[in-house]
Amino acid sequence: MDTNGCTIDIELMANAKTQLDGLLATTQNIEYKCIVQLVNGYLRKYCKHNIVSDVIDISETHSKTIYYCESCGLTFDGLSTPK
């Protein structure tokens, strides 16, 4: 494990997710989307999620609370993590 509690595989997959998320969804082909889904599935299954909440601005007058894993970057609805 490294200093933030992740194993090297999770760290590498999280880095891959960051890179893959850089391409706009509208320009992703089917194979690309499959790779993104596989990386997200791996992270969902193997990361020991450290979920934190944050508030993001939707507009000047509205904000939204989001939940994400500090280790792998996956986002979650509410406070529950997928199994």
Give the per-residue pLDDT at 21.
93
Under 8 Å between Cβ of 51 and 68 = yes
Give the per-residue pLDDT at 77.
80
Under 8 Å between Cβ of 80 and 53 = no
**Which pLDDT tens digits describe the chain residue by residue (83 residues)?**
554 557 999 999 999 999 999 999 999 999 999 999 999 999 999 999 999 999 989 899 999 899 999 999 999 886 554 54
The radius of gyration of the chain from alpha carbons, rounded to an integer in Å, stands at 14
Q: Where are the domains of the chain?
A: 8-76
- Please tell me the distance from the alpha carbon of residue 58 to that of residue 68, in angstroms, as a whole number: 17
Give the per-residue pLDDT at 81.
47
